[in-house]
């Protein structure tokens, strides 16, 4: 009952920011993403009677029972145990190859890996749709990390949340030249987690309704642009949708400002590069890191320019990535 899996982070091309039903973890609007090669979580899950309680070790550190991380893992294991009709405790060891909780969506790859790994270790044979729904319960954006390549997470219409899951728009091979340049601005953990931040936006941002109505239209448009490989329109839409999401976050009480000085430096340089004719666009999630959307042929030029900026520590180049898969080599 020991299984090791890998799952990748994803970057939202049009964002999710706000839950309609906090218990079912269903969003106000659909969102789209690309799964990223190179930003990976590896997780080993072992269900065994030797464990008296669930154990969770993240990046070498055991998480205490009162931490949010531990509770999230336990809740996810409980869902799997219920489905598998068993009650064995588990040991879960997980490691990320990128900065945790700093806007590189470690919760997405982490929860996707945990769900996929725990389901396999429990002997369940679930569809991607089912796994996506279970991952959604752990973290909304994790529902999209179940998908190879480009994904849409449907907001769904049903009151029980059963039609709120991610689906593939196109596999990674569809657009191998597509690139995301992850600019690491700060390796420090962010102050406001997405979960708490978006709950506050739902309650207090005066533009919340405008945000999610517009974001739904953007998500549907994004599907068409991906299918058409219309890169310029895709980049412009992703960038605009990102600014709108952050406008909603910034107009929350108290304000949520994820942009750091270094983020703004990159954003301004990207806009200048656009004026110079380089096809590159920015997007940011719940942290200061800026992700630049571009095509392979423009990577050397963009990297050369962005490297010159003081606030940028590192640039991580990502191609479209795979969905979760089982691998050899257990972590314990
Ligand atoms: C800004 O999926 O981390 O990255 O569902 O509460 O776990 P929970 O939130 P999470 O939020 C991600 C928000 C975002 C935008 C996005 O990925 O769509």
DSSP symbols for 124-170: ----HHHHHHHHHHH-GGGGGGGSSSEEEE-----TT-TT--EEEEE
198 CA from centroid of ligand 1 (Å): 8
Round to the nearest angstrom and report the end-to-end CA distance of the chain: 13
Write the residue with the smallest CA distance to atom 6 of ligand 1: 195
250 CA from centroid of ligand 1 (Å): 16
Distance CA 96, CA 99 (A): 7
11 CA from centroid of ligand 1 (Å): 10
78 CA from centroid of ligand 1 (Å): 22
Q: Which atom belonging to ligand 1 lies closest to the Cα atom of 138?
A: 7
Q: What CATH code is carried by the domain that includes residue 38?
A: 3.30.230.10
Closest to 119 (Cα-Cα) out of 164, 79, 70: 79
Between the alpha carbon of residue 66 and those of residues 106, 118, 137, the distances in Å are 20, 21, 19
With 90 as the cut, is the pLDDT of residue 15 above it? Answer: yes
25 CA from centroid of ligand 1 (Å): 11
81 CA from centroid of ligand 1 (Å): 25
CB 204 within 8 A of CB 253: yes
Distance CA 154, CA 46 (A): 32
Q: What is the pLDDT of residue 99?
A: 60
Write the residue with the smallest CA distance to atom 14 of ligand 1: 285
Query: What is the pTM for the complete model shown?
Result: 0.96
Q: Which atom belonging to ligand 1 lies closest to the Cα atom of 141?
A: 2
Return the half-sphere exposure (C-beta side, CA atoms, 13 A cut-off) of residue 42: 12
**pLDDT tens, position by position, 290-330:** 999 999 999 999 999 999 999 998 899 999 999 999 999 99
Mean pLDDT on 72-97: 96
Distance CA 139, CA 129 (A): 15
3-state SS, residue 247: helix
Q: What is the pLDDT of residue 102?
A: 47
CB within 6 Å of ligand 1 — which residues?
12, 15-17, 25, 31, 105, 107, 139-141, 194-195, 285-286
Mean pLDDT of the chain: 95
Q: Which atom belonging to ligand 1 lies closest to the Cα atom of 16?
A: 18
Percentage with pLDDT > 70 across the chain: 96
With 50 as the cut, is the pLDDT of residue 101 above it? Answer: no
Q: What is the pLDDT of residue 187?
A: 62
With 90 as the cut, is the pLDDT of residue 164 above it? Answer: yes
Closest to 46 (Cα-Cα) out of 110, 97, 114, 98: 114
16 CA from centroid of ligand 1 (Å): 6
How many domains is the chain partitioned into structurally?
1
**pLDDT tens, position by position, 194-252:** 999 999 999 999 999 999 999 999 999 999 999 999 999 999 999 999 999 999 999 99
Write the residue with the smallest CA distance to atom 9 of ligand 1: 195
Distance CA 6, CA 156 (A): 27
**Structural domain that includes position 102:** 1-332
Encoded tokens for 149: 């390549």
139 CA from centroid of ligand 1 (Å): 7
Ligand 1: which of 194, 202, 291 to mutate, most ligand atoms within 8 Å of CB? Answer: 194
Write the residue with the smallest CA distance to atom 5 of ligand 1: 140
Mean pLDDT on 13-27: 97
φ and ψ of 141, to 5 deg: -65, -20
Ligand 1: which of 19, 34, 105, 182 to mutate, most ligand atoms within 8 Å of CB? Answer: 105
3-state SS, residue 10: strand
301 CA from centroid of ligand 1 (Å): 31
Long-range contacts at 272-281 (CB < 8 A, ≥ 24 apart): 273/302, 273/305, 278/302, 279/231, 279/232, 279/235, 280/235, 281/235, 281/236, 281/238, 281/239
Q: Which atom belonging to ligand 1 lies closest to the Cα atom of 111?
A: 7
Percentage with pLDDT > 90 across the chain: 91
């Amino acid at each position: 009952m020991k299984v090791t899996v890998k799952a990748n982070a994803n970057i939202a091309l049009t964002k999710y920011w706000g839950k309609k039903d906090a218990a079912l973890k269903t969003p106000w609007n659909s969102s789209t993403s690309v799964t990223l090669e190179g930003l990976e979580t590896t997780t080993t899950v072992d269900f065994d009677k030797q464990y008296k309680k669930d154990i969770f070790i993240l990046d070498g550190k055991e998480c205490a029972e009162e931490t949010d991380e531990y509770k999230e893992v336990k809740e996810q294991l409980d869902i799997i145990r219920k489905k598998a009709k068993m009650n064995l405790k588990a040991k879960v060891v997980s490691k990320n190859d990128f900065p945790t909780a700093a806007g590189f969506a470690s919760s997405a790859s982490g929860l996707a890996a945990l769900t996929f790994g725990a389901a396999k270790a429990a002997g369940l044979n679930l569809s991607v749709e089912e796994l996506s729904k279970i991952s959604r319960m752990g973290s909304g954006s994790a529902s999209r990390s179940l998908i190879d390549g480009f994904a849409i997470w449907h907001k769904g219409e049903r009151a029980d949340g059963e039609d709120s899951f991610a689906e593939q728009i196109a596999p990674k091979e569809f657009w191998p030249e597509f690139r995301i340049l992850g600019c690491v601005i700060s390796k420090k953990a962010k102050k406001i987690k997405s979960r708490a931040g978006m709950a506050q936006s739902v309650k207090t941002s005066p533009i919340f309704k405008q945000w999610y109505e517009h974001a739904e239209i953007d998500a549907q448009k994004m599907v068409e642009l991906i299918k058409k490989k219309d890169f310029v329109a895709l980049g412009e839409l992703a960038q605009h949708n990102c600014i709108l999401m952050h406008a909603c976050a910034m107009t929350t009480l108290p304000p949520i400002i994820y942009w750091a000085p270094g983020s703004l430096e990159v954003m301004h340089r990207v806009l200048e590069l656009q004026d110079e004719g380089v096809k590159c666009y920015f997007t940011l999630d719940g942290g200061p890191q800026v992700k630049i959307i571009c095509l392979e042929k423009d990577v050397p030029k963009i990297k050369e320019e962005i490297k010159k900026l003081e606030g940028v520590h590192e640039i991580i180049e990502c191609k479209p990535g795979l969905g979760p898969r089982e691998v050899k080599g257990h972590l314990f």
